[in-house]
């Protein structure tokens, strides 16, 4: 990362280079320090940035020179149009929430927590310890490290209702992140061309995974207390679908948690219809006012297929998730996942296991809850002050996001552009709907960097919104 002084010097030097001939020598570091009244460290940072960008080159003992950039003819890839044919699914290359933006942009668009909310010390220590073990040289079993399998099973068993048989390590499959898991689950349990019920709105990555598999999505409306169970039952009967993908706890994007009555009714329905509930407990570690209450802990008949990721709570660099499924369903999912990725990196599994079994993990989660509470409330208060037009259906009891509805007629695409021009990144809600949008929504992430800028971000959002109405 470079500071603002280095950024200014980079800009100045780029202006100079744009008019200089190839091979021209830049002023010495000493001269640049004197000319721009900057420290030698700042000048060196700016020069390293330009070298990394391929604009200049350093010749040790001689100096720094404008780099010669060869002129190449543009390649013609037109032949690929015929070879590839038409795309079956028009999917974005990068979802808007995945964009990495400059540091001076207030980022409310992302789906990931700020690094300050991660167990940084635990993760770094775990990588250091694992690097000294034999795991860096060995492959693992297709289903995963037995110790990590057992940990995922024991985590679910803490919530198990009395009288039910507990899942074992044998029921667990370790996956290279939940996104990969969704693809395997949809292929194994649903299949191309077959219907699957899904909450609306829901996680955009699940919509994308279903599209890639060729699954036909049937939306079921959901609200602050969960899905419309009557519509769920009718849709299962009407379509003959045998799977329902859902977020019972801290839904993405809404943050909603199913009520006990809805949870009981959903389980009754899927059992009566002979269907699977695919439970994505993505925010298991992000409870605020309540804890996650997994549906899988209410069932031992194999109707609930449970997915839990550690990527967001441990580190984006540790793409590890656990799937718990019973019976032939587990074997089918394992077979599909093995065909896609063979097995998950042993060192990454070992790092994940090291982190979540350290005494400091529980301490971190307790601290995380308080930090998320503060950030959530801070953003809500900022919206109340500056964007009274934004309607929040309910205060999310967990998760990372606020789901706010704006007035009908709001041009969300224009709003995104206007906000980004003012250095604010937001995420329009359209991609979280598997069919048509039911309103004008934004998903705003309160776990991102620089919560001190929430008030300014809300002020920019309010101004951009009101500019649409003159």
Residue 20 lies in a domain: yes
Q: Do residue 332 and residue 453 come from a single domain?
A: no
* pLDDT given for residue 101 in this prediction: 65
Q: Residue 172: beta bridge partners?
A: 324
Separation between Cα atoms, residue 423 and residue 233, nearest integer Å: 45
Residue 469 has a pLDDT of 78
The CB-side HSE value for 429 (13 A sphere, CA atoms) comes to 24
Structural domains of the chain, count: 3
- 274 and 323, same domain (yes or no): yes
CA distance 148 to 227: 32
Check whether the bond before 127 is cis (ω within 30° of 0): no
For residue 60, give the CATH number of its domain: 1.10.10.10
Give the CATH number of the domain where residue 388 resides: 3.90.1150.10
Owning domain of residue 13: 4-66
Q: Is residue 85 part of a domain?
A: no
Query: In whole angstroms, how large is the CA radius of gyration of the chain?
Result: 25
Look up residue 116 and give its DSSP letter: G
**How far is Cα 90 from Cα 85, in angstroms, rounded to an integer?**
13
Contact 212, 89 (CB under 8 A): yes
> 366: how many CB neighbours lie within 10 A of its CB?
9
For the four alpha carbons of 403, 404, 408 and 412, in that order, the dihedral sign comes to negative
SS3 content of the chain, % helix, strand, coil (to 5): 45, 15, 40
167 and 291 share a domain?
Answer: yes
Calculate the CA dihedral of residues 251, 418, 434, 330 and round it to 10 degrees.
Answer: -50
As given in the structure block, the two tokens for residue 452 are: 């001190």
pLDDT of residue 70: 55
Shared domain for 176 and 297, answered yes or no, is: yes
Q: Please tell me the number of Cα atoms within 13 Å of 465 on its side-chain side.
A: 23
The reply to whether 202 falls in a domain is yes
Q: What is the pLDDT of residue 258?
A: 96
341 and 221 share a domain?
A: yes
Nearest of 439, 433, 424, 420 to residue 383 by alpha carbon: 424
pLDDT at 2: 45
Q: 412-455: per-residue pLDDT in tens?
A: 999 999 999 999 999 999 989 998 888 899 999 999 989 999 99
Give the per-residue pLDDT at 145. 92
What are the residues facing 104 on neighbouring strands?
A: none
* CA distances in angstroms from 134 to 125, 129, 138, 178, 350, listed in the order given: 17, 11, 7, 26, 11
| Nearest to 116, CA basis, from 468, 449, 463, 451 | 449
pLDDT value at residue 74: 64
- Let me know if residue 83 belongs to a domain: no
Q: With a cut of 70, which residues of the chain have pLDDT below it?
A: 1-3, 69-75, 77-78, 80-82, 84-102, 470
pLDDT in tens, 58-112: 888 788 888 876 555 666 766 766 676 655 555 555 566 666 666 778 999 888 8
Q: What's the token pair of residue 424?
A: 């604010």
Q: What does the pLDDT read at residue 342?
A: 80
Count CB neighbours of 368 within 10 A.
20
Query: Is the CB of residue 363 less than 8 Å from the CB of residue 214?
Result: no
pTM of the full structure: 0.81
369 and 276, same structural domain? no
pLDDT at residue 73, rounded to an integer: 61
**Are 177 and 252 members of one domain?**
yes
């Amino acid at each position: 990362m470079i500071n603002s002084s280095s950024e200014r010097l980079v800009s100045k030097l780029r202006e100079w280079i744009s008019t200089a001939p190839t091979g021209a020598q830049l002023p010495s570091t000493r001269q640049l320090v004197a000319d721009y009244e900057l420290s030698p460290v700042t000048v060196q940072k700016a020069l390293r940035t330009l070298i990394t960008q391929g604009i200049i080159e350093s010749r040790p003992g001689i100096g720094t020179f404008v780099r010669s950039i060869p002129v190449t003819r543009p390649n013609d890839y037109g032949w690929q149009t015929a070879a590839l044919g038409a795309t079956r699914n028009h999917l974005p290359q990068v979802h808007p929430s995945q964009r990495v933006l400059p540091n001076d942009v207030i980022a409310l668009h992302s789906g990931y927590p700020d690094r300050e909310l991660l167990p940084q010390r635990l993760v770094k220590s775990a990588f250091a310890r694992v690097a000294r073990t034999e795991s860096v040289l060995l492959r693992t079993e297709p289903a995963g490290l037995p110790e990590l399998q057992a940990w995922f099973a024991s985590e679910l068993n803490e919530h198990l209702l009395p009288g039910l048989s507990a899942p074992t390590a044998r029921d667990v499959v370790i996956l290279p992140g939940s996104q990969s898991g969704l693809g395997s689950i949809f292929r194994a349990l649903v299949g191309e061309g077959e219907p699957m019920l899904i909450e609306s709105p829901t996680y955009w990555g699940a919509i994308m995974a279903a599209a890639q598999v060729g699954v036909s999505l049937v939306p079921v409306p959901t609200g602050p207390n969960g899905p419309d169970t009557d519509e769920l039952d009718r849709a299962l009967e009407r379509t003959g679908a045998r799977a329902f993908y859902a977020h019972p706890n801290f839904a993405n994007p809404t943050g909603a948690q199913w009520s006990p009555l809805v949870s009981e009714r959903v389980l009754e329905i899927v059992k009566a219809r002979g269907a699977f509930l695919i439970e994505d407990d993505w925010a298991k570690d992000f409870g605020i006012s309540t804890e996650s209450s997994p549906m899988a802990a209410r069932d031992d008949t194999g109707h609930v297929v449970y997915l839990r990721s550690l990527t967001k709570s441990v580190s984006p660099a540790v793409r590890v998730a656990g799937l718990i499924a019973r019976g032939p369903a587990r074997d089918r999912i394992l077979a599909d996942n093995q065909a896609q990725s063979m097995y998950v990196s042993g060192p990454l599994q070992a790092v994940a296991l090291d982190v979540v079994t350290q005494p400091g993990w529980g301490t971190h989660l307790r601290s995380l809850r308080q930090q998320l509470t503060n950030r959530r409330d801070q953003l809500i208060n900022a919206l109340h002050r500056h964007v009274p037009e934004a309607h929040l259906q309910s205060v999310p009891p967990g998760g990372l996001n606020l789901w706010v509805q704006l007035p009908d007629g709001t041009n969300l695409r224009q709003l995104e552009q206007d906000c980004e021009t003012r250095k604010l990144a937001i995420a329009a809600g359209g991609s979280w709907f598997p069919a048509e949008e039911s309103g004008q929504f934004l998903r705003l992430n309160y776990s991102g960097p620089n919560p001190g800028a929430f008030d300014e971000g809300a002020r920019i959002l309010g101004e951009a919104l009101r500019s649409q109405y003159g």
